[in-house]
Amino acid sequence: MSSKEYEGDEVILAVDHGKNVGVAMHDGKIVKPVGVFDEEGLFSLLRNMDFDAVVVGIPYNLKGMFSKKTFEVVNFALKIKDEFTDKKVFLYDERFTTVYGKKISGMDERKYRRFKDVISAVEILSDFLKSQHLACEVNDDKFIQLDERIIDKMRNKRTVVEEILLDPRDERLRSLNIVFLTNDPHHFYLLVEKGYIAYFRKSVDELSLDYDLMLKYKDGKITLCP
């Protein structure tokens, strides 16, 4: 999660990704619509703009869980980050922006369909600016690697890792029997892509997992319990 507050003249874009891509912009003063593009058109726009961050609306199902569409959007956000490495990219829950956007637009159904993508982008960005702590940053720097001492203690044990952003690309983890519980959609996406057992927004109690050890934060440090 990011606690950074955006102030001043930073330019932030929001993207509602679907068949069409709606784009909105905060120019340091107000949130305003930019337009509707295809994916190629969006990247062309980004290459010709001076901006500081992109907020990508991420769709979950109504229970707040991942779906096929969620994975597609996380992959899309990663494509933005891969090309614009010096820019911040965030994922932000968009579940209710379409419904709310339609309600406040006052448009009839036919007219709303023409503008729904950009209206959703405006709502995503407006919500993000009010609740930035709920966003997830797409940033590899947040991932951590374990020291060998802890890894040695995990060998031959079934270990639950709860809300610790272990780097899914750390090849040492492949030899371990790990179950991941995470609330970070970027982390969850990479874990599944790498073939790990991972649960999104679930707790040990909810899943009734059998395990020998649990890796968690304790007193500001990563600790194995019991």
Confidence band for 22, pLDDT divided at 50, 70 and 90: very high
| Residue in 205, 214, 226, 201 with CA at minimum distance from that of residue 63 | 201
| Residue in 219, 213, 179 with CA at minimum distance from that of residue 199 | 179
- At 201, the amino acid letter reads R
Q: Which residues of 30-65 are buried (b: 16+ CB within 10 A; e: fewer)?
A: ebebbbbbeeeebbebbeeeebbbbbbbbbbeeeee
The two three-digit tokens of residue 102, written as one number: 């339609």
Per residue in 157-201, pLDDT (tens digit) is 999 999 999 999 999 999 999 999 999 999 999 999 999 999 999
Confidence band for 6, pLDDT divided at 50, 70 and 90: low
Confidence band for 2, pLDDT divided at 50, 70 and 90: very low
**What's the pLDDT score for residue 75?**
97
Encode 142-167 in three state secondary structure.
HCECCCHHHHHHHCCCEEEEECCCEC
122 vs 1 pLDDT, higher one: 122
Q: How far apart (Å, rounded) are the C-alpha atoms in residues 164 and 143?
A: 8
The two three-digit tokens of residue 211, written as one number: 């395990």
Per residue in 154-164, pLDDT (tens digit) is 999 999 999 99
User: What is the overall mean pLDDT for the chain?
Assistant: 89
**What's the pLDDT score for residue 114?**
59
Q: Is the pLDDT of residue 5 over 70?
A: no
Q: How far apart (Å, rounded) are the C-alpha atoms in residues 57 and 184?
A: 14
List, edge to edge, every strand of the sheet that includes 158-162: 197-200, 177-182, 158-162, 213-218, 221-225
Mean pLDDT of 22-32: 94
Range of lowest pLDDT (10-19, 34-43, 90-99, 139-148): 90-99
Range of lowest pLDDT (40-44, 99-103, 157-161, 195-199): 99-103
In this structure, is the dihedral angle defined by the CA atoms of residues 29, 46, 54 and 9, taken in order, positive or negative?
Answer: negative
Q: Is the pLDDT of residue 96 over 80?
A: no
- At 55, the amino acid letter reads V
Confidence band for 104, pLDDT divided at 50, 70 and 90: very low
- Dmax over CA atoms of the chain, in Å, equals 63
| Residue in 121, 51, 47 with CA at minimum distance from that of residue 83 | 47
